[in-house]
Amino acid sequence: MTASLSSTWNYAELRPDQLEARVAQCPLAYVPWGALEWHSVHLPVGLDGLVAAAIAERAVERTGGVVLPPMYLPITTLPHRFSISFHAATVRAVLDDLFAELARVGFHAVVLLSGHYAQGHELVLIDAAERAVEQHRLLVLATPPLALLGEEYLDHAGRWETAQMLAIDPRLVDLQRFMAALEQFPAGHVADLGVLGELPLAATAGGGEVVIEAALAELDRWAQRLLQGDSQALRAFYDRRRAAYESFVRTYFRESYEEAAAAWWADRLRRD
């Protein structure tokens, strides 16, 4: 059975004639961006990209456009044997090339959904997004999906990341393993388990579905703004996101985001 235009959104699976029609119909590209990173003992290391891809797939069904394959190119992952990160300069270069290519293809707008919440990582994405506006007149919204709902939802391996994974694929979540590991740490030292924010034991699939749906509603509104060329709203959003990281930059940044993240994490472990 051949997929119709309205249900065909995966860039990698489309023929040139299908892409031509799809881009003409809605020149919007979704780019899921993830990390292979330690997410405590109960979650998969690829959670960031898995969540971003699932949300992008649901968003494109509402708004039109296409979805590119997930890209796992983070900076400043939490220290762990199985965390993989890249230098900021590498990620900047990839982003600049990617946005230039998407503009050349004919997209007018891009939504880069970053499942990875690290401070320096998001700031690098924002810088690249703003360069794309200046250099290619390509409006790029680069954001963690839940940042559209509020800072309180941006945890790490805690309630909200776990809830999203439970809603998307509960087979990949093992809360029993987390409960067993928690017994080895004094109360208040869950950062040693890679958890930032509320404990994941409060997570439910229903709660994950609620926040995903709320994020999708926001993404629908943003898709309309981007396709209408609303660069002012985009600029205001980035101003707010930068303000959220102002204290981090002022306190920890010296030479690089990699060093800043290492200093922040060491400080967090000392405090917890």
d(CA 129, CA 133): 7
> pLDDT at position 272, please?
64
Q: What is the pLDDT of residues 232-249, one digit of tens each?
A: 999 999 999 999 999 989
pLDDT exceeds 90 at position 270: no
Residue 195 in 3-state DSSP?
Answer: coil
pLDDT exceeds 70 at position 261: yes
> pLDDT at position 185, please?
79
> pLDDT at position 191, please?
84
Residue range 80-89: average pLDDT?
96
Q: What is the pLDDT of residues 191-229, one digit of tens each?
A: 889 999 999 999 999 999 999 999 999 999 999 999 999
Residue range 42-56: average pLDDT?
98
Average pLDDT value for the chain: 94
Percentage of residues in the chain with pLDDT exceeding 70?
Answer: 96
d(CA 153, CA 151): 5
> pLDDT at position 65, please?
97
Q: What is the pLDDT of residues 155-187, one digit of tens each?
A: 999 999 999 999 999 999 999 999 999 988 776
Tokens representing 217 are: 């509603």
Q: Which residues pair with 10 in a beta bridge?
A: 67
Threshold 0.85, pTM exceeds: yes
> pLDDT at position 28, please?
98
> pLDDT at position 267, please?
86
Strands 66-67 and 28-34: parallel
Is pLDDT larger for residue 3 or for residue 66? 66
> pLDDT at position 2, please?
39
d(CA 143, CA 177): 31
pLDDT exceeds 90 at position 268: no
Q: Are 131 and 52 in contact (CB under 8 A)?
A: no
| Whole-number Cα distances in Å, 268 to 68, 244, 262, 264 | 35, 17, 10, 6
> pLDDT at position 1, please?
35
